[in-house]
């Protein structure tokens, strides 16, 4: 049942001022950026979460992150009194998080990038936006740590899984698309897609089932790919942190979206690898950022992705065939890579 606050929030988001909506999103993004940087430093240097003033370069507690120090850092002055490292890049990068939050809120509320008649109720759009902003914040922390330390801490992913499942269960209407929907039974202008009756009658139980199925699907698929690649290449192509990261993402977006995310990750990986090579000179980028970038793409474009794919996700044999075919193609590709590495020749 909607409260007066829910009615006001929905009206403000859908019909209110776009400017103030984006201002609020920007403020939330700035607070999230401060929280993200703090946790990235603490988890990278294995420090307790109550540590204050942690230097990103040496882990010293004597670093200061006030507005005055940030301004001096932007001008090239020292940031850390121990190693002299300055945070100008970090200060500038912090602008990107509020901008991302503001653009995402606009895309969902005004751009209707997630608006589907068969998806979640528009009456819960304010909570769904907040729900996804929490996911984006967790992805930023996981990506930052993966870039710096080449690992994704369980404290981030398991916390995210708990938040994803609890949020979906408590509100019951945060799904991008129901846990089961068959668009193949749809008759245009006469009959909508088939959705089981229990989903309509028991929203909280559906939220729990939807989130848990997404969690299991994301984790199981990534673990399966990890096992296949390890068996063929003789080494781990994906870390266990990637498995828990995909499980966390699945708990927030459901099983249909998590399959699309995994499929788009290699394409996002090629783009990010090129950008990272140009900006940082690193020839290797961990897989976690690829999954995070693919998740953002799906959150921003879900309406347009679901429309052509909706018939596939209502037909289990087609889903099984696509997953099986993808695994076979992956196995052939990995076998070719291993064969290429075994060919004697000059050092590559």
Q: What is the DSSP string of 278-294?
A: HHH--S---HHHHHHHH
182 and 96 in a common domain: no
340 and 280 in a common domain: yes
240 and 179 in a common domain: yes
222 and 148 in a common domain: yes
10 and 62 in a common domain: yes
268 and 325 in a common domain: yes
76 and 223 in a common domain: no
Phi, psi (deg, nearest 5) at residue 191: -135, 130
* CB 99 within 8 Å of CB 26: yes
Three-state secondary-structure class, residue 217? helix
100 and 232 in a common domain: no
154 and 107 in a common domain: no
147 and 23 in a common domain: no
Domain end: 71, 94, 111, which one?
111
Going residue by residue through the chain (348 aa), what tens digit of pLDDT does each one get? 778 999 999 989 999 889 999 999 999 999 998 888 878 877 777 776 655 566 655 655 544 444 455 444 444 444 565 565 555 456 666 788 999 999 999 999 999 999 887 766 788 999 999 999 999 999 999 998 888 888 899 999 999 999 999 999 999 999 999 999 998 888 777 788 889 999 989 999 999 999 999 999 999 998 988 888 777 767 666 788 989 999 999 999 999 999 999 888 878 877 777 776 676 666 566 778 888 999 999 999 999 999 889 899 988 888 888 788 777 766 676 666 566 656 665 444
Helix 316-342 × helix 255-280 angle, to 10°: 30
Q: How far apart are CA 223 and CA 6, in angstroms?
A: 39
> Nearest-CA neighbor of 210 among 237, 262, 173, 241?
173
Three-state secondary-structure class, residue 3? coil
Q: For residue 329, what are the domain limits?
A: 119-348
124 and 104 in a common domain: no
pLDDT at site 251: 97
Q: How far apart are CA 37 and CA 216, in angstroms?
A: 29
How many C-beta neighbours within 10 Å does residue 35 have?
14
How many domains does one find in the chain? 2
Domain end: 78, 95, 111, which one?
111
Give how far Cα 28 sits from Cα of 34, 57, 123, Å: 10, 26, 22
Helix 4-15 × helix 125-149 angle, to 10°: 70
124 and 96 in a common domain: no
What element of type H or E holds 159? helix 154-171
Model pTM score: 0.87
């Amino acid at each position: 049942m909607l409260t007066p606050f829910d009615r006001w929030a929905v009206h403000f988001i859908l019909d209110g001022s776009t400017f103030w909506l984006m201002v609020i999103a920007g403020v939330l993004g700035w607070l999230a950026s401060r929280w993200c940087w703090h946790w990235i430093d603490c988890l990278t240097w294995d420090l307790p979460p109550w540590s204050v003033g942690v230097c990103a370069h040496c882990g010293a507690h004597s670093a200061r992150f006030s507005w005055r120090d940030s301004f001096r850092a932007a001008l090239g002055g020292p940031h850390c009194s121990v190693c002299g490292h300055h945070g100008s890049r970090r200060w500038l990068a912090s602008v990107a998080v509020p901008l991302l939050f503001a653009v995402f809120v606009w895309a969902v509320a005004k751009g209707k990038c997630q608006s589907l008649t068969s998806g979640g109720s528009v009456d819960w759009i304010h909570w769904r936006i907040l729900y996804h902003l929490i996911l984006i914040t967790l992805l930023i922390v996981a990506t930052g740590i993966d870039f710096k330390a080449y690992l994704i801490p369980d404290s981030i992913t398991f916390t995210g899984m708990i938040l994803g499942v609890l949020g979906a269960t408590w509100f019951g209407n945060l799904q991008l698309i129901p846990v089961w929907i068959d668009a193949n039974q749809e008759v245009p202008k006469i009959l909508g897609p088939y959705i089981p009756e229990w989903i309509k009658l028991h929203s909280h139980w559906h939220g729990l089932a939807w989130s848990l199925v997404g969690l299991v699907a994301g984790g199981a698929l990534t673990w399966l790919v990890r096992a296949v690649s390890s068996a063929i290449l003789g080494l781990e192509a994906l870390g266990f942190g990637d498995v828990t990261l995909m499980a966390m993402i699945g708990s927030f977006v459901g099983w249909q979206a998590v399959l699309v995310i995994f499929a788009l990750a290699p394409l996002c990986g090629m783009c990010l690898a090129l950008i990272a090579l140009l900006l940082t000179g690193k020839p290797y980028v961990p897989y976690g950022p690829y999954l995070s970038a693919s998740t953002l793409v799906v959150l921003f474009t879900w309406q347009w992705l679901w429309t052509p794919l909706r018939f596939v996700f209502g037909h289990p044999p087609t889903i099984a065939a696509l997953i099986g075919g993808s695994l076979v193609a992956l196995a052939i590709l990995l076998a070719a890579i291993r064969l290429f590495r075994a060919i004697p020749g000059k050092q590559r």
